[in-house]
Amino acid sequence: MAEKARQHYLFVTYPIQSHINPTLHLAKHLASSTSAAVTFSTAVSAHRRMVSSFPNADQEFNNGLITYLPYSDGNDEGFKRDNMDLKEHISDFRKNGQRNVSTIVGDLAAAGRPVTCIVYTLLLNWVPDVAGEHGIPSVLYWIQPATVFAIYYHFFHGFESIVRAHADEPSFTVCFPELQPLQIRDLPSYVNVPVNDTDSFNATILNSFRELFEILDREQETRVKPRVLMYTFEAWETEALASVSDIEIIPVGQWPNNTGYLFKEDEKKYMEWLDTKVEGSVVYISFGSLSVMKKEQKEEMVRGLKESKRPFLWVVRKDNREEGDGVVEIEEGGDDGMVVEWCDQVRVLAHSAVGCFVTHCGWNSTLESLVCGVPMVAVPQWSDQCTNAKLVESLWGCGVRSEVDGEGVLQGEELVRCLELVIVEGEKGVEIMNKAKNWRDKALEAVSEGGSSDVNLKAFVDDKFH
């Protein structure tokens, strides 16, 4: 009987690295810190890459902590950007994902392992329907900052007209409740979609967010307040967490670790290479798992790195290499730098030799840099990255946002300027470093026993909501 009463959380996430990482962090932590059973489910295409070293990679398996059980989204070989329409892909994903996740929930119940709560992430607005079909609760896990959540909330609740009216004025300032003043350039890129644009990638994603907040609005009809788990730390975003009073936001930020990478780690001995470098001297560069750095940007990066004369470790994925981009030249030697196709980013950022992170400011990278106390040079491109860069520079003071040219390219001399600000032991550099360490300490406090993240997660699990 005790086993039947055991809580069982099913985590469902979209099959890309930036969604899998934080979801797996939380799933692992929940499984290790509570008595709950945890099943992690992403689409077959990503699941295969995560567990490629195991036999029968498409099947369920348990690693002693959590169970991995994939669902088919109808594209088991993965989404091919070049030959598939995005709207068609999302429609097929919804239809197949909803049917197959529902089957998983039914099969688990039939096997005596009933799911008691489904935790889902972005782009999966159909999951609450699956939960409702089976009579179990669901909860959103927001894997971006609380500030971005608050911006979207207010955008869809009274601020859409003013943002749209000034969409072509990057420096126009918007004052959302409780948040620091934000310019249009600081907002998530999707809110700047023109009204008459209904078919583009950006419009499709904005519509997905709109639907998500409509789901949360409907939940208020059945609960006093909808609940949202959030991948941030209470001490990092106090004002943003207070900005949305209609929703109970539960910050459960976790200490990041090596999770289910979809990319093969480079065999180069980059950690040993870091061991040979002076403390705080290395510039680490990575633009994440999705961003594609164009040839001109790579050339400017090479130019800036050479001019800065600092040792560097640069991640350039296999799918982002091309002839004459300067990357091969670095790989062949002659400069005090190393290029890798992929690496264990948390281990790199935690290494004492790393003094600065040049980043696209995706939330995973931003959070990992913050918890490791590493200053940042922000080079945001799209989605939440511009907001994250604003937080890095203005709210947390642990880095600088670079300026790009009209083509969105970070010029070599601008890279040098930014590196001089954050990595040199002048007044500004020391201030940035001290603040970076301060935010790291607050994260450490939150995840320790009795800290805010620890208490919040345990309270959520113990609540009668389930």
Residues constituting the chain: 466
* Phi/psi of residue 158, nearest 5 degrees: 115, -15
Residue 438 is which amino acid?
N
Supply angle C-alpha 14, 18, 22, rounded to 5: 90
| Residue at token pair 């208490």 | 455
Q: Which of 19, 25, 351, 360 is catalytic?
A: 19
β-strands 67-68, 61-62: how paired? antiparallel
DSSP E strands in 273-389: the ranges are: 282-286, 312-315, 337-340, 354-359, 376-378
Q: Is the sign of the CA dihedral 275, 369, 38, 251 positive or negative?
A: positive
Which residues are CB-contacts of 37 (< 8 A; sequence separation ≥ 6)?
6, 7, 8, 9, 31, 67, 113
Closest CA to 421 of 401, 435, 436: 401
Which pair of tokens denotes residue 353?
A: 């030799």
199 DSSP 8-state letter: S
12 DSSP 8-state letter: E
Question: DSSP assignment of 212-265, as one string?
Answer: HHHHHHHHTTTSSS-EEEESS-TTT-HHHHHH--SSEEEE----------SSPP
| 305-309: long-range contacts, CB 8 A cutoff, minimum separation 24 | 305/335, 305/337, 305/415, 306/335, 307/412, 307/413, 307/416, 308/283, 308/415, 308/416, 308/419, 308/420, 309/336
Task: Confirm whether 29 is a catalytic residue.
Answer: no
CA distance to 353, 368, 374, per residue, from 271 (Å):
10, 17, 17
Q: Give the residue numbers annotated as catalytic, written as ranges.
A: 19
